[in-house]
Amino acid sequence: MMEQVKILIDLQEIMSKVRALQEEKRKVPLEVADLKALFEEREAKFLTAQQEFEQLKKDRREKEREIEEERDKVERAKAKLMSIKTNKEYYAMLKEIEQTKRTNTQREDELLAILARYEETEKREAEFHAEVDEVEGRYRERMVDIEARMGSFDKDIAVLDEKKAEVAKRLEKGLARRFEMIFDRRDGVAVVPARNQSCTGCHMHVSPQLFNLLQREDRIYACPNCNRILYYEAPVEEATGK
């Protein structure tokens, strides 16, 4: 039975390595989480500036159209003055022209304000776009490295899985399954030595009778408290014959 325990110890070492590699693999994508968050932040600012810039372009075109229409209206009114025959109509037309000019002056002021914001937003949009490109470039570089590392993890895990399958074949029927269940439930520690009449897995005392049975090494025993598979580990003095 001690041979089976030795196989279990080997299997536990292999599976512990697989678990460690899987944990490291799980952590790798987190290394770019900060860059991803930064990229999303910069992208959101860029999209907001882009939307604002597009709206300003639309407002600018609309305001320029309104101003041009009002200028045409003034020119048509001036041309019409030549055909007016009464003073009343003449002064009414002059009043309309002045009102149109005042309205256009207000629109021109509004256009100037739009142009000021237009230039500012265009500059901000360009800056955010450059920041997005820069962060995206860094993100892509990191992802290339991460993909290579992930591939290396997968390769190492595959090798260990093959080794695990080979070792597991040497176990008695049902023992490998029992071992894996304990391994999963006990955080990767399924086989532990019993030392000084205690389980080194849960550190609980085992009965003298069980401790004596473990020393016979004639069958597989489990800790009554944590269900880990136990094996006897002789004290250093006993093992060295001192």
- CATH number of the domain enclosing 54: 1.10.287.1490
**Pairing mode, if any, of strands 191-195 and 198-199?**
antiparallel
C-alpha 217/C-alpha 233 separation (Å) is 11
For residue 102, being part of any structural domain is answered with yes
For residue 111, being part of any structural domain is answered with yes
What number of other Cβ atoms are within 10 A of residue 233's Cβ?
15
Helix (H, G, I), strand (E, B) or coil at 57: helix
Question: For residue 85, what are the CA distances in angstroms to 80, 89, 177?
Answer: 10, 7, 111
Are 36 and 128 in the same domain?
Answer: yes
| pLDDT value, residue 87 | 80
Out of 108, 134, 167, a domain closes at 167
Are 161 and 182 in the same domain?
Answer: no
pLDDT digits (tens, 9 = 90+) for 173-188: 889 999 999 999 999 9
| Full domain range(s) for residue 220 | 172-240
For residue 14, being part of any structural domain is answered with no
As a residue count, the chain comes to: 242
Structural domain total, the chain: 2
Of residues 191 and 242, more confidence is placed in: 191
Which amino acid, 227?
N
pLDDT digits (tens, 9 = 90+) for 122-162: 888 999 999 999 998 988 888 899 899 999 999 999 999 99
| pLDDT value, residue 237 | 55
**Model-level pTM?**
0.61
Are 205 and 158 in the same domain?
Answer: no
For residue 160, being part of any structural domain is answered with yes
Average pLDDT over every residue of 199-206: 95
Are 105 and 155 in the same domain?
Answer: yes
Are 162 and 190 in the same domain?
Answer: no
For residue 5, being part of any structural domain is answered with no
For residue 139, being part of any structural domain is answered with yes
Are 123 and 195 in the same domain?
Answer: no
For residue 105, being part of any structural domain is answered with yes
Are 163 and 119 in the same domain?
Answer: yes
Q: Residue 94 is encoded by which pair of tokens? A: 């002059």
Out of 43-57, 86-100, 127-141, 146-160, pick the least confident: 86-100
Are 100 and 179 in the same domain?
Answer: no
Distance of CA 204 to the CA centre of its chain: 42
Are 146 and 178 in the same domain?
Answer: no
Q: What DSSP string runs through 137-196? A: HHHHHHHHHHHHHHHHHHHHHHHHHHHHHHHHTTSPTTHHHHHHHHHHHTTT--EEEEET
Q: Sheet containing 191-195: give its strands across.
A: 198-199, 191-195, 229-232, 221-222
Are 108 and 220 in the same domain?
Answer: no
For residue 10, being part of any structural domain is answered with no
What is the average pLDDT value for the chain, to the nearest integer?
Answer: 88
Out of 116, 148, 167, a domain closes at 167
Out of 150, 167, 184, a domain closes at 167
Q: Which helix (H) or strand (E) holds 128?
A: helix 87-168
Are 226 and 181 in the same domain?
Answer: yes
Are 229 and 196 in the same domain?
Answer: yes
Of residues 82 and 97, more confidence is placed in: 97
| pLDDT value, residue 239 | 46
C-alpha 59/C-alpha 65 separation (Å) is 10
